[in-house]
Structure 1
Amino acid sequence: MHELRAGEIFAGYRIERVLGAGGMGSVYAARHPRLPRLVAVKLLHAAYSADPVFRGRFEREADLAGRLDHPNIVAIHDRGSEDGRLWIAMQYVAGSDAETALRAGPLAPPRALHIARSTADALDFAHTAGLLHRDVKPANILLSESAGAGAERVLLTDFGIAKAVDEGTALTQSGTVVATLRYAAPEQLDGRPAGARSDQYSLACTLFHLLAGRPPFTATNAGALIGAHLMHPVPRISEIVVSLPAAVDAVFARALAKDPEHRFGSCAEMVAAASAALTAETAATPGMTGPAGHRGLGVDNPAVFGTATATRARRGNTAWWAAGTLGLVTMLAIAAVVLMSRDAGGSGAVPTSTTATPTTTAVDAWAAARPTIALFPDLLPASPDSEGYRGLRCSFATKSPEAVWDTGFDCTDREGLRLQVMAHKDPGTVERFVATLPAGPVQQPRSRYGRPLTVHSFNGSTGPWLLVRFDAAPYSTVLLQVYWKGHTHQEMIDQWLSTAPL
């Protein structure tokens, strides 16, 4: 299995022992020919060495990686070819790696965050220098045992090699996926250009694995694993590890968004958000009450829309809410929850008749609805201060005691489209509610991600609007309500629904 033996001289280095082997080659601890130190020599597999395209790229990328000088990046000392075999000599790190550490189970959050934070620093530094890693995974994160009195030292290895393989080699052209599939970003799998946020995605998969003891997607079949990265929602880690707060679900939903533009701006930003979510003191969201009589989607009688039954949801300049909408947004303070209605532009709030709900703890208003964000990471913003698809900005919606939905969002995008996303307890609740709606035109298209939809078209006092249902679990507990002033039902379907990341 291993081509070199202890005591053998290779490229001037005396081989002492095998350190490990992987898909790209074997790694040996070797004695430096002139200096009193050990180095790690990686001998690449013959399939790589025999590919002339790879050899050229490897030399260029190894040169670039050799210029990286960072405390969390394994230094490259030398590289070359010996008897036609490519090799690289790197900094020797006494210790283990994150993959080995995971054999004992999930890591404690402080240690997992320390590993992710150090790796993020290494990646952001390399990205600034114009170099991608493209194969971030636990096996490529080395953990030093010689930390002394300080924290465990973390070093990222294999910079340059993965990039050399991934760009244009015969191996890639024949269909080989270089990045380990469990950690590969969607754009690495469907032919889109990779970038710094591709490494962020892989780091997020790695952090998920460190915390949960398993990566986010666990299919054993390569095709199914690729499909999961491309189309499946991000699993809620708080359901896998019940001791983790639900707030961290939204962090992974954003970091693992299918669209790179919806991820964090940097790897460090992602880890900082995860750290804040994991270390923040959690508190239960206080009960919220809305105007008496609002039920279903916010009207007294769900079968009647745009009538006097919805007038309380249309105070000020909020006529568009008449089409069966919630009509209120929440403002949470330490002492009370104040319910307010807003105008069509999202400003000029006018107080409504409300009942304040006292509380003594500052809370995360979005905590209860973060599972919904995890279902639609490319659609919904990860926080009140961020944006989703087409600049979508959302507020956490209020709910009356009689409402059939559990949590929801009121949203507006940069084109003026209004969207409400309402999550229900189970699909049966959705079915019973929809059965109360008036008969009308129904279409059954598929979403951009291939999910079957049922679209009901209605006309309210403020214009046409759509009610969108998902036919398959786990989305079948969610209803979408879409209103776009000046657009017909079909225009909303063609210009928004068909392209939205659903």
Structure 2
Amino acid sequence: MHELRAGDIFAGYRIERVLGAGGMGSVYAARHPRLPRLVAVKLLHSAYSADPVFRGRFEREADLAGRLDHPNIVAIHDRGSEDGRLWIAMQYIAGSDAETALRAGALAPQRALRIARSTAEALDCAHTAGLLHRDVKPANILLSESAGGGGERVLLTDFGIAKALDEGTALTRTGTLVATLRYAAPEQLDGRAAGPRSDQYSLACTLFHLLAGRPPFTATNAGALIGAHLMHPVPRISEIVAGMPTAVDAVFARALAKDPEHRFASCAEMVAAACTALTTGTAPARPMTGLGGSAQPVDYPARGRAHFATDAGARRGNAAWWVAGALGVAVMIAIATVVLTIRGSVDTGAVPASTTAAPATTVHAWAAARPTIAMFPDLLPANPDSAGYRGLRCSFATKSPEAVWDTGFDCTDREGLQVQVLAHKDPGTVERFVATVPAGATQQPRSRYGRPLTVHSFNGSTGPWLLVRFDAAPYSTVLLQVYWKGHTHQEMIDQWLSTAPL
């Protein structure tokens, strides 16, 4: 899993131990080659280093984070490339993080506020510099004792998915779901543009977690959690934590508003309001938004009110989501543009995709399949109105009652290739389905990103098509069906499958 071991010399740094690992790379504690100190070296996984999209993201991390100079932000010392592998040397912080601190339960209110205040100051500094963090969560808040015994230090780390507010490069158009779902703002989940108040929302979720010992929204699956952020009302922390002033409910109602315009003006203002509510029991002033040229107050939900979102725009469609949640099928809510016709077995006499028209896909329906988009950020478009790899246009699809998949996309690129991306409950469901597939030619190539694939070739009534499965988790819950009129099985494999960002 890790490319470097203790004692290795890399870019002049002597590796001492592994500090952690993520989807893009690993972080090591390393000895500086010239100074008597440790640094944290982040190394992009070699499997991704050759890919220009991933290299661009990694290089941008150093460029953006290196512009920040704040006592509550982990500093960037150096960056470079070694044997084609990109790396960043960062400030080493000895200690723990807020996620580890939460393992013992909720934090004392004053400590929670102190952590949130320092994090808010770091975020406001980044926002002033034109940067978003986009992944604020307890695990990215480092805690360390001050060298001079001045108490606990708080530092925000991992700007690896930060972006300039004015950035418009293709690297962010893929719609990667980069935020941890428990702390992700609604606009990060339904395709709207993120902004500084998106980070504020994530910080508010983090503060809620620090105070209550649990985040505001919890669920057993990704689709239900996304639905909670998009549709559910903000939980009353006063009903979760004994002795918590009810004034704090109003702070979280505003900081976690579905509409970013209804939140606080800055992260620091949000934390200050929470401090006031906790210490004096006084609720903050209601936010005012321009409406037809006049200021209108936002209506905070009263105690005992039925389950409705606090913002009018988010309330639309709320009842439908709640019904689906009660049925345990939140991830299957969709209004489709194309009806898929998979019925639990492969019909080798027809192309797997039909062209039956249906109403347009909604943003909230699209959000239900965000976990699939997160697996294939460089393949699938971020929302119904954008395009993915090679101009790929997709519709979120409903299914027949007999189908074994949960959510699906039906897509066509600018060259006429058609691909269905079908997500299943678990790998076992895929295994059972594939066992029903008729015997035929099978290949086991690797994808562009080195993932092992099993490809089944079929001949339908309109031409050849492929059934593609992934052999390793978490992708092993997904099946692809590929059809390209006028192309043979091998041409589809050579000209699309081998180069697609899978």
- TM-score normalised to structure 1 length: 0.57
* 1:3-82 equivalent positions in 2, closer than 5 A: 3-46=3-46, 48-82=48-82
| 2:153 alignment counterpart | 153
**In structure 2, the residue corresponding to 1:218 is in which secondary structure?**
coil
Return the alpha-carbon distance in structure 2 between the equivalents of residues 420 and 256 of structure 1.
Answer: 14
1:43 deviates by 1.7
Q: 2:43·2:86 contact (CA, 8 Å) conserved in 1?
A: yes
Q: 1:97·1:141 contact (CA, 8 Å) conserved in 2?
A: yes
| 2:285 alignment counterpart | 383
1:55 deviates by 1.8
Q: 1:147·1:153 contact (CA, 8 Å) conserved in 2?
A: no
| 1:449 alignment counterpart | 316
The one-letter amino acid of 2:316's match is Y
1:161 deviates by 3.7
1:89 aligns to 2:78 (yes or no): no
1:139 deviates by 0.8
1:447 deviates by 7.7
Return the alpha-carbon distance in structure 2 between the equivalents of residues 189 and 20 of structure 1.
Answer: 26
1:222 deviates by 1.2
**In structure 2, the residue corresponding to 1:179 is in which secondary structure?**
coil
Q: Percent identity?
A: 80
| 2:276 alignment counterpart | 276
The one-letter amino acid of 2:154's match is V
CA RMSD, aligned part only? 3.4
Q: Structure 1 pair 420/156, CA: closer, same or farther in 2 (3 Å)? A: closer
Q: 1:72·1:155 contact (CA, 8 Å) conserved in 2?
A: yes
**In structure 1, the residue corresponding to 2:288 is in which secondary structure?**
coil
1:148 deviates by 3.5
1:187 deviates by 1.0
Q: Structure 1 pair 51/256, CA: closer, same or farther in 2 (3 Å)? A: farther
The one-letter amino acid of 1:135's match is D
Return the alpha-carbon distance in structure 2 between the equivalents of residues 207 and 161 of structure 1.
Answer: 21
The one-letter amino acid of 1:387's match is M
Return the alpha-carbon distance in structure 1 between the equivalents of residues 319 and 290 of structure 2.
Answer: 20
Q: 1:54·1:169 contact (CA, 8 Å) conserved in 2?
A: no
Deviation per CA, 1:155-204, whole angstroms, max 9, x where unpaired?
1111254439x97677973x641111111111111111111111111111
1:426 deviates by 8.1
1:252 aligns to 2:259 (yes or no): no
The one-letter amino acid of 2:18's match is V
1:70 deviates by 0.7
| 1:100 alignment counterpart | 100
Q: 1:451·1:472 contact (CA, 8 Å) conserved in 2?
A: no
| 1:182 alignment counterpart | 182
1:53 deviates by 2.5
**In structure 1, the residue corresponding to 2:217 is in which secondary structure?**
coil
Q: 1:62·1:161 contact (CA, 8 Å) conserved in 2?
A: no
Q: 1:162·1:179 contact (CA, 8 Å) conserved in 2?
A: no
1:58 deviates by 3.2
Return the alpha-carbon distance in structure 1 between the equivalents of residues 155 and 69 of structure 2.
Answer: 12
Q: Structure 1 pair 269/25, CA: closer, same or farther in 2 (3 Å)? A: same
Gaps of 5+ in 1: 283-363, 368-381, 394-411, 428-445, 454-469, 475-502
Gaps of 5+ in 2: 307-312, 327-502
| 1:339 alignment counterpart | none
Q: 1:51·1:170 contact (CA, 8 Å) conserved in 2?
A: no
Q: Structure 1 pair 13/182, CA: closer, same or farther in 2 (3 Å)? A: same
1:25 deviates by 2.4
Deviation per CA, 1:374-396, whole angstroms, max 9, x where unpaired?
xxxxxxxx635x32683899xxx
Q: Structure 1 pair 7/231, CA: closer, same or farther in 2 (3 Å)? A: same
When structure 1 is superposed on structure 2, of 134-143 and 152-161 the one drifting more is 152-161
Q: Structure 1 pair 15/230, CA: closer, same or farther in 2 (3 Å)? A: same
Q: Structure 1 pair 172/132, CA: closer, same or farther in 2 (3 Å)? A: same
* 1:141-290 equivalent positions in 2, closer than 5 A: 141-163=141-163, 173=174, 176-280=176-280, 282=281
1:85 deviates by 2.4
Q: Structure 1 pair 167/236, CA: closer, same or farther in 2 (3 Å)? A: farther
Return the alpha-carbon distance in structure 1 between the equivalents of residues 301 and 66 of structure 2.
Answer: 52
Q: 1:132·1:163 contact (CA, 8 Å) conserved in 2?
A: yes
1:421 deviates by 9.2
Q: 1:162·1:178 contact (CA, 8 Å) conserved in 2?
A: no
Return the alpha-carbon distance in structure 1 between the equivalents of residues 184 and 39 of structure 2.
Answer: 29
Q: Structure 1 pair 425/89, CA: closer, same or farther in 2 (3 Å)? A: closer
